[in-house]
Structure 1
Amino acid sequence: MFCVGHGDGYITFAKQADLVTVRLYFDAVSRDIVAGFKIAQQRGWLSPDNRLLVDLRQFTGSVDWGAIRELRALGPWIDDPAIRNVCAYILEPGDMRRLLINVLAALYPVMRHRSFTEETAALTWLTEAAEAPHLSTEDRHLAFHTG
C-alpha cells in the first residue's frame, strides 16, 4: 500500500492478488492522482491482468479531464478488445458523479465500467466481470449501471 498527497487531499493504492484498490480522499489534486498512478504502473500494478476498484465516496475534489487523458497513456493495453479490462467505482447514494462514469466509458470504450454504492457489490461484480466472456461492442456501451 502507498499514499500520495497530504492531509487536505490524497490518494491511496493497495494491491491484493489481482485487485488494485484506489481511494481518493478530500481534495486530492490532479498532480498527486497522476503521480500515484505512475507509481502503481512502475510497481507493475497497472496491468491487463488486474481488476480496478476506485472509491470516490470521500473525494471532494474536481475532475481534471487533462489528467484523465494523461492516465490513459499508463495502460497501452486499454484499447485491446481481447483483454478484459474492468473497473468498478464506489459512490455515495445519489452522487451525481455517477454520470461521470458515462464520460469515462466514452473515453475508455473497450473497458467495462460500473458504479456502485456498496463495496461488496462492486467486488462481486469485478470478480464476475473478470471471469465472464468478452462483451460485444454493443454490450460494452450498456455496461454502465449503478448497483
Structure 2
Amino acid sequence: MSTEIKLIPTDNLISIIPLIKLLNPALPETMFKTRLEEMIAQGYQCAGLYIDNKLIGICGLWIMTKLYVGKHIEPDNVFILPEYRRLGLGKRLLEWVYKYGKSQGCIASELNCYVSNETGNAFWEQEGFAKIGYHYQKYLESS
C-alpha cells in the first residue's frame, strides 16, 4: 500500500468535490464548484492524501495573518473516507500540514470545529489544540 500526501494542483482541485459532498451532503454539488472557484481566488489550497493513487483524504488549507496569533495555517474541511479512519492517517496528514505551514513561515495552526462534532473535537484536542473561543456566524440578509 503506497501512501502519499501532497498539495493538489489548483487546476485539479475539482477532484475534492466527491469527498466534500460526503462531508456536506445537504449542499448541492454546483454550489461547491462555484465556491471552490472563489476560494481558489482567495488563496485556498488543499492537501490530498492518496493511497495507491486514490484520493482518500483531504485537508483544505488557508495561510493568513491575524493580529492575535500572527501568520498561521488553518486546516479546513479535513476529511478521510470512513474505511481509512483509525489507521493513523489523519495524524500523518496533519504532520504534513504543520511541516508545510512552517515552510511557509507560519508560527501556529488554528481551526474551527463544529460543537456537535464530538469525535472531531476529541481528535483536535488529542492533536494539542486548545479551545480558545467560540465561532459565531450570522447570515447577512440580501437587500
Q: Name the TM tier (shorter chain).
A: 0.3 to 0.5
Structure whose CA Rg is larger? 2
User: TM-score if structure 2 supplies the norm length?
Assistant: 0.39
User: TM-score if structure 1 supplies the norm length?
Assistant: 0.38
